[in-house]
Amino acid sequence: MLATPQRLLFASAVIITLTAAAVLRLQHLELRPMHTDEAVQAAVLRDIWQNGKYIYDPHDLHGPVLVLSSFPLVWLSGAEDFESLKETTLRSTSALWGIVLVAVTLLTGRWTGWKGALVAAGLTTLSPMMVFYARYFIMETPLVVLLVLFGLCVARYFETRSTKWILAGGIIAGIMHATKETFVISVAALALGIVSGFLLRKDRQPEDGFLQFLRPGHLALGFAAAAIASAVLVSFFFTRPSAIADSYTTYLNYLDRGAGESGHEKPWSYYLQLIGWKKMEGGHLWTEALTLALAIAGAIFAFAPGKLSPRARFFTQALAVYVFASLLIYSAIPYKTPWSIMAPLHGSILLTGFGTTRLFQVCCCLPARIALALPLGLGLWHLGQQSIRTNFPPGKGEAPIYANEARNPYLYSQTTTRLLSKVVDTVHEITNLHPDGKAMPVTIIHPEFGWPLPWYFRSLTKVGFWGEEASREIPEQAMAPVIIIDEPWTEALSEQLADYVPTYSNLRQDSILVLYIQSDLFDQLIESRAK
């Protein structure tokens, strides 16, 4: 434990760190256009809020934990209905999870040392990737928080052998399952880390068998707790029991998706480049190489001979194996999305905290410590700068990066700002001219229903969504004053749309939408803009 003056210093540092985490995560949440995944989660929230029902989809969408956790903020925001709900409210939920992540990082101090935990908390606070995805209404940040808590419960269990820790760990595992099914990758890597930690233990007696180490009875208790917690959530408090089986059979879908052609295939080095060194258009460089380098130092200290308590040795060795294994597994899976690597990155941040404090211990003289502190300080400053650039409004003479996929490596299939200016704003402008106002019929013909347009048109009462069935001929009932169509489908529909004026806009960088406005309405629009 720390001495009293050190405790005060530590407490001050914790307050500063948590404040910085809040500042970086809670400001300017409205800037970036809604990502498809965010809009889809918002639609799940609408179903629970308006209809009181949740239907687990084994093909997509994941579990309900993120959405359920957003309700306290939704109620606090004063939003009376889905229409008045704002992006900032939804994203604040993830941001709060991000602040909690910084807090739970501090809890690892029991094993990596309190100073190491503080360094890790600081890095979690400033890490551009951790900040960026804590501002998305997606389940990655909650998943990392739960994973850290699960790891801490497991670590405490192996220290105390108390069933309360295995129960707590089981419940958290169940909640993770109901958050995002891919948690099994991290848990498998963690299990590998624990087994490695056990095998490498120097104080292990020959009679300490593996089964004795695992204690099958306790393990079964943990699994049962996980199964129950998960079942409660995915079945939405047992209102839809079939979802429980679906939440397990869903892995067959994920296996297909992970190995098959999904359009998300990337080379094995994708994640390493993303964390280590990513040069983007306009000369923008993004790097968390400092974290990677110090994590390697942490891993070396974990395995190198030296004075280290068995508890710290076990934890850091298991952590190092977990980070390596999870990075390896994620890199080996062809299906890659940038946010998937958050869990291994946070693991390496924990190792970084440990590695940094050990480095300071090795550098016993003051000049050496200053020589170490200077690049570390510069590195932290650079991480903070990157976080500000990726999320905040640009300063004078700077480009906005928060929605520019060519310059911001953390953006992926991002909705363009042009969609808002060219399509969304125009449609709302037209509703002011149309006699039906918000009840003006709008048709969207798109293979994926034009997400996130359902979010942006939530205040319109007559929006019809059509898929492939309308891609060759628009049905009579789908003809509307405003029709939005996926560009590749427009050629076949051109005759039906002869009386419409098209406006093109990118939905995402690789996907174009065409907004068709009935010509007389278009003339009214031109006239209104001339005034």
Give the footprint of other proteins on residues 423-452 (CB under 8 A): 426
Q: Does 510 bind other proteins (CB under 8 A)?
A: yes
- Near other proteins by CB under 8 A: residue from 206, 209, 397, 435: 397
Nearest distance from C-beta of residue 279 to other proteins, angstroms: 13
Instruction: State the minimum distance, in angstroms, from the CB of residue 490 to other proteins.
Output: 9
Is 524 one of the binding residues for other proteins (CB under 8 A)?
A: no
Neighbours of 197 (CB within 10 A): 23
Q: How far is the CB of 281 from other proteins (least distance, A)?
A: 9
Rounded distance between C-alpha atoms, residue 525 and residue 531, angstroms: 10
Q: What is the largest CA-CA distance in the chain?
A: 88
Residue 418 within binding range of other proteins, rule CB under 8 A: yes
Give the Cα separation of 79 and 48 in Å (integer): 15
Residue with tokens 């498809």: 36
506 binds other proteins (CB under 8 A): yes
The H or E element spanning position 483 is strand 482-486
Residue 499 CA to residue 444 CA, distance in Å, equals 17
Helix/strand/coil (H/E/C) assignment for every residue in 404-465:
CCCCCCCCCCCCCHHHHHHHHHHHHHHHHHCCCHHHCCEEEECCCCCCCHHHHCCCCCCEEE
Tokens of 523: 């003339």
Q: Please identify which residue in 417, 461, 496, 524 interacts with other proteins, judged by CB under 8 A.
A: 417
User: Which residue, 400 or 464, is less far from other proteins as judged by CB?
Assistant: 400
Interactions with other proteins, residue window 246-285 (CB under 8 A): 282-283
Taking the least distance from each CB to other proteins, the nearer of 418 and 434 is 418
Find tokens 């999305």 and name the residue: 337
Copy the structure tokens of residue 368: 């050496």
For 471, the 3-state DSSP assignment is coil
* Least separation in angstroms between CB 232 and other proteins: 45
Q: Which is nearer to other proteins, 65 or 493 (CB)?
A: 493
Piece of 88-96, 191-199, 421-429, 457-465 that binds other proteins (CB under 8 A): 421-429
| Rounded Cα gap, residues 220 and 213, in angstroms | 14
Question: Is the alpha carbon torsion for 139, 144, 150, 153 positive or negative?
Answer: negative
Does 307 help bind other proteins (rule: CB under 8 A)?
A: no
Asked if 512 touches other proteins (CB under 8 A), the answer is yes
Q: CB 405 → other proteins: shortest distance, Å?
A: 8
> What would the x/- binding string for other proteins be over residues 354 to 393, using CB under 8 A?
----------------------------------------
**Binding of residue 29 to other proteins (CB under 8 A):** no
Residue 529 interacting with other proteins (CB under 8 A): yes
- With binding defined as CB under 8 A, does residue 31 bind other proteins? no
Nearest residue to 339 (alpha-carbon basis) of 400, 414, 279: 414
Task: Return the structure tokens found at 22.
Answer: 């809040």
By the rule CB under 8 A, 399 interacts with other proteins: yes
Considering the rule CB under 8 A, would residue 404 count as an interface residue with other proteins?
yes
- Bridge partners, residue 320, by sequence: none
- Closer CB to other proteins, residue 56 or residue 522? 522
Nearest-approach distance from CB 291 to other proteins, in angstroms: 28
Helix (H, G, I), strand (E, B) or coil at 504: strand
* Shortest CB 429 distance to other proteins, Å: 10
Q: How far is CA 53 from the centre of its chain?
A: 24
User: Is the Cβ of residue 149 or residue 525 nearer to other proteins in the bound state?
Assistant: 525
Residue 282 Cβ, how far from other proteins at the closest point, in Å?
A: 6
Helix (H) / strand (E) containing 65: helix 65-76
Stretch that binds other proteins, among 6-14, 48-56, 357-365, 519-527 (CB under 8 A): 519-527
Burial label for 530, CB within 10 Å (0-12, 13-18, 19+), is exposed
DSSP summary character for residue 83: G
Q: Which residues bind other proteins (CB under 8 A)?
A: 282-283, 394, 396-400, 404, 406, 416-418, 421-422, 426, 487, 501-504, 506, 509-510, 512, 514, 522, 525-526, 529-530
